[in-house]
Amino acid sequence: MFELQDAFARKFHYLRLSVTDVCNFRCQYCLPDGYKPDGRKSFLTLDEIRRLTRAFAAMGTNKVRITGGEPSLRKDFTAIIETVAATPGIRKVATTTNGYRMARQVADWRRAGLSAINVSVDSLDSRMFHQITGENRFQEVMAGIDAAFAAGFEQVKVNTVLMRGLNDGELGRFLAWIKDNPIQLRFIELMQTGEMDELFSRHHVRGALIKEQLLHAGWQQKVRAHSDGPAEVFWHPDYVGEIGLIMPYAKDFCASCNRLRVSSVGKLHLCLFGEQGVELRDLLAEDGHQAALQLRLRQALADKKATHFLHQGQTGMTPHLASIGG
Ligand code: SAM
């Protein structure tokens, strides 16, 4: 088997697959004016997703994260989970969701084979949640997290984008929340994308500041495992939950990159930032193109760059994260 590996000897066992660009939230840092439908776009079908996952799995991918846009807006979302989970070689199927459908559907997702779930919760104050996400759905999302535990998930990961002047005073509240709950709370540094104006300079907070506070309060850093995502994870003997920090601007963030992305229209993105993507869709129409698809993936990987160059202020081609599955 040829494994997905780049010129820097990084291996890629983890695929982030976007299944739609559509989102029903209007997060200030992503789609503040809401999703604008683009009639020309058609998102990957279930069959295309099946062929794509098969090719990646044949090349060593064992974990797939289904994302978007808001992936649970797809009517066939449960079938997508089932299809990905049934692919030989795939051991872990995760999703990232805004959580608004979880209370009603998370048990079905679990039965379909979902093994891990990340929910975005930018504030524990319902008014602030509304202000950041554009939607007054805090209670629904929290009920969704309860439903995930009730459905049998042992841990839920929560994504919180750190924003100065909005939620950056909530550390104490978040810590109290995870004291007795098996939640891995992941603070994500705000990333600058192509459509952002002054929002980044107004609200960006360095994750390193939180790291200092955590270490000071007795939190300890865990050793990173091979299939882990991009977070630095911290634990504390008095807490059931954990804290993750995702700091894309930190030195060496890219050195441990183990992720590839495929957009909702079937383009391979070697990095969240900075390139146009490699077309795969022409090879997804039939089962017979598997060998050609694998060859294209292999050739594309030879071009993956060492880093995203965000440090140099490059925001690249990515207008907002919903467009290629953040
Ligand atoms: N709709 C789903 C959700 O809300 O989680 C999945 C897609 S969303 C693009 C994935 C994650 O990216 C969310 O946790 C969101 O907060 C995060 N995100 C989006 N834009 C971001 C940005 N500019 N900087 C940091 N995180 C961002």
* Per-residue model confidence as pLDDT tens digits over 186-225: 999 999 988 787 999 999 999 999 999 999 999 999 998 7
Query: Is residue 82 very low, low, confident or very high in pLDDT (cuts 50, 70, 90)?
Result: very high
| Ligand 1 site, residue 141, Cβ cutoff 6 A | no
Q: Determine the atom of ligand 1 nearest the C-alpha atom of 70.
A: 1
**Residue whose CA is closest, atom 2 of ligand 1?**
97
- Judge whether 230 and 246 are in contact, CB under 8 Å: yes
Evaluate if residue 239 carries a pLDDT over 80.
yes
Residue of the nearest CA to atom 5 in ligand 1?
97
**Is residue 207 exposed (0-12), middle (13-18) or buried (19+ Cβ within 10 Å)?**
buried
Q: Which atom of ligand 1 is found nearest the CA of 122?
A: 16
Structure-model confidence comparison of residues 320 and 172, the more confident one: 172
191 lines ligand 1 (CB under 6 A): yes
- The pLDDT, as a whole number, for residue 38 is 86
**pLDDT number for residue 120:** 98
pLDDT for 315 beyond 60: no
**How far, in Å, is the centroid of ligand 1 from the Cα of 230?**
14
Q: Measured in angstroms, how far is the CA atom of residue 286 from the centroid of ligand 1? A: 32
What is the signed CA dihedral for 150, 153, 155, 161, rounded to 10 degrees? -90
Residue percentage of the chain with pLDDT more than 70: 92
Mean pLDDT confidence for 62-69: 96
pLDDT of residue 276: 79
Determine whether the shortest distance from the Cβ of 70 to ligand 1 is under 6 A: yes
Pocket test for ligand 1, best of 72, 132, 161, 324 (most atoms within 8 A of CB): 161
Residue nearest to atom 10 of ligand 1 (CA): 326
Contact 7, 247 (CB under 8 A): no
At 75, is the secondary structure helix, strand, or coil? coil
pLDDT digits (tens, 9 = 90+) for 102-132: 999 999 999 999 999 999 999 999 999 999 9
Extended beta strands in the chain, E state: 14-18, 63-67, 92-97, 116-120, 156-162, 183-189, 220-221, 232-235, 242-246, 259-262, 267-269, 278-279
The more confidently predicted of residues 264 and 272 is: 264
Q: What is the pLDDT of residue 222?
A: 94
Q: Average of pLDDT values for 224-241? A: 87
Q: Which H or E element spans position 301?
A: helix 290-301
Tell the residue nearest (CA) to atom 17 of ligand 1.
326
Give rounded-to-5 percent helix, strand, coil for the chain: 35, 15, 50
pLDDT tens digits, one per residue of 17-32: 999 999 999 999 999 9
How far, in Å, is the centroid of ligand 1 from the Cα of 214?
Answer: 23
Report how far Cα 209 is from the mean position of its chain's Cα atoms: 23
Task: Give me the amino acid identity at 120.
Answer: S
Q: In testing the pocket of ligand 1, which one of 73, 160, 188 has its CB within 8 Å of the most ligand atoms?
A: 188
The answer to whether 159 and 96 have CB atoms below 8 angstroms apart is yes
Evaluate if residue 178 carries a pLDDT over 70: yes
Report whether residue 67 contacts ligand 1, using a CB cutoff of 6 Å. yes
What pLDDT, on the 0 to 100 scale, is given for residue 177?
98
Classify strands 183-189 and 92-97 as parallel, antiparallel or unpaired. unpaired
The answer, yes or no, to whether any atom of ligand 1 lies below 6 A from the CB of 167, is: no
Q: Is residue 23 in contact with ligand 1, taking CB distance under 6 Å? A: yes
Distance (angstroms) between ligand 1 centre and the Cα of 266 equals 20
13, two tokens: 């066992």
